[in-house]
């Protein structure tokens, strides 16, 4: 006896068409494709979270190291670099 239960999901027309096209290409049902995609997302999320934490830690380390080097060797450039970083954040990230 199957333990699966129905789950209703609404998707926009364009996404539905993409799901159906991909399912046809893979010769499976749209339901099977969506199930696989959800499983892959949930299983992969654990790995991604660890990788993201590592990436953030490495980035923070580099920032601290660069700041220490600039403070020691080029303190006159620090304020200019901070202002340029702020300008680029606004330009590229809207922050």
What are the extents of the domains in the chain?
13-93
Q: What confidence tens digit (pLDDT) does each residue in 23-67 have? A: 999 999 999 999 999 988 888 777 667 777 888 889 999 999 999
* Over residues 65-73, mean pLDDT: 94
Q: What six digits make up the tokens of 91?
A: 């330009």
CA R_g for the chain: 24
Please state, rounded to an integer, the average pLDDT across all residues of the chain: 89
- State residue 48's pLDDT score: 66
What's 27's DSSP letter? T
Nearby residues of 70 by Cβ (< 8 Å), 6 or more positions away: 77, 78, 81
Q: Model-level pTM greater than 0.95?
A: no
């Amino acid at each position: 006896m199957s333990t699966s239960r129905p789950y209703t999901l609404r998707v926009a027309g364009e996404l539905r068409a993409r799901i159906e096209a991909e399912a046809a290409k893979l010769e499976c049902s749209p339901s099977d494709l969506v199930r696989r995609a959800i499983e892959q997302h949930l299983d992969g999320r654990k790995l991604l979270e660890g990788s993201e934490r590592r990436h953030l830690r490495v980035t923070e380390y580099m920032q601290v190291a660069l700041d220490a080097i600039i403070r020691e060797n080029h303190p006159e450039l620090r304020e200019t670099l901070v202002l340029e970083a702020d300008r680029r954040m606004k330009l590229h990230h809207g922050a």
